[in-house]
Amino acid sequence: MLMVVFGAGASYDSYSVIPPPSLREGQVLPDGYAPHFGDYMPYRPPLTNEIFARKSFIDEVLPKLPALRELQSHLGVLRKPPDGSLEQELERIRDQADQRPELKRDLLAVQFYLHVLLWHAVRQWTEVTKGPAATTYADILKRVQQATREGEDVLLVTFNYDTMLEAALNTRGVAIGSIPAYVATNYKVIKLHGSVNWAHPVRTAVDTRDGTTGTLANLIRMAGELDIDYDTFIYLRETDFFSYPAGILDGETRPVNVPAIAIPILSKKNYECPQDHLRLLETSLPNVTKVLLIGWRAAEEHFLGLLRAKLRKDARLMVISSGRPGADQVVANLRRAAVAGNYTPSAATGFTGLLQSHEIDEFLKE
């Protein structure tokens, strides 16, 4: 069985026509490419260290959305964490939240912020790519489909909140429109950190008389008192461009809810993923013989422990990062975590570079 693991670097480099500036060296740019074509950085799905550095989004987009102005006062120190590590600062806040109720409000505000940022960015990025069929996700899925037997199971594990993988699967005839649909076909999609279009229902009575704006403010204000059903995942459907569904009361069809999105910290205690999806992942890992790691730093301790315990010792792993040095670092992280396997660090520069090389096809067909 093949498993493909997508990290933030995969979505960051998800459109070969406009590769990220930091990965452009060594990549073949398309005919007619010119700097004035633009990098579209405000809309490119962000790396972790860019989440709160999108100044154009925070200063220009967020204030225009009345329901979300509440979030700005909670961003504060996350714009420039004291030690330079967003993940460490968020971990510090999480560890102190039980003793300081205001920090629980900050953490919930961060989840809503991630929900809004990614919802907005991916909508804009889809306009840039002219649809999901042109993305690197669609390209890799096409090659996987060509290299696997009809009906053969493929594990697609992603740490990304965005829905680019789901959209690309739709171009291959796999439609995902509900939580069960993620694992209903031979393409098993496991979103370990949650998704921009997932939410948890809130059991606590929340004042919704002031509509979306008031509901969001009340949810954040009551963060320490909320009874949230973390075992239930709601699939959120597309709405108007400036309507972000998490937190919204939608008649009788959906309760007040909060985003099912994991806070980006290294030592996560739990996944933000349905339990039946996790059980499927655990039972499938011993059958995995080949692993593609695309844009994942191998720094997430929880998943590293799962790989160490469940992955076959003779599994072949190809690692794709920002180039050979980055891939070597990922391999070092995996070995440090005692994840056994036969490693191939790719010299390719990012997702785009991989698809421009012959390495990927050779690896998939072996």
Residue 300's CB is within 10 A of a number of other CB atoms, namely: 25
Among candidates 285, 283, 270, 200, which has minimal Cα distance to 235?
200
* Count: domains in the chain: 1
pLDDT of residue 252: 43
Roughly how many angstroms between the first and final C-alpha of the chain, as a whole number? 12
- Reply yes or no on whether the pLDDT at 83 is more than 80: no
Q: Name the token pair of 138.
A: 């669609």
- Give the model's confidence band at 79: pLDDT under 50 very low, under 70 low, under 90 confident, else very high: low
What pLDDT score does 116 carry? 79
pLDDT score recorded for residue 274: 97
Average pLDDT over residues 310-332: 93
pLDDT at 310: 94
Q: Where do we find the tokens 């990922």?
A: 330
Q: Are 107 and 97 in contact (CB under 8 A)?
A: yes
For the stretch 154-188, pLDDT in tens is 999 999 999 999 999 999 889 998 999 999 999 99
Bigger pLDDT: 340 vs 213: 340
Q: What is the pLDDT of residue 164?
A: 93
State mean pLDDT over 10-21: 84
Predicted local distance difference test score (pLDDT) of residue 65: 54
| Range from 58-72, 91-105, 215-229, 292-306 that averages highest in pLDDT | 292-306
* Predicted pLDDT of residue 32: 44
Mean pLDDT of 10-39: 63
- Residue range 93-130, pLDDT digits in tens: 777 777 777 778 888 888 888 887 788 788 888 888 88
pTM: 0.87
Q: Domain limits at 123?
A: 2-365
Candidate ranges 32-41, 178-187, 207-216, 264-273; pick with highest mean pLDDT: 178-187
Give the separation between CA 236 and CA 285, rounded to whole angstroms: 29
**pLDDT exceeding 90 applies to what percent of the chain?**
39
Res. 222 pLDDT band, cuts 50 70 90: confident
Q: What's the pLDDT band for 75 if we cut at 50, 70, 90? A: low
Which carries the bigger pLDDT value, residue 242 or residue 204? 204
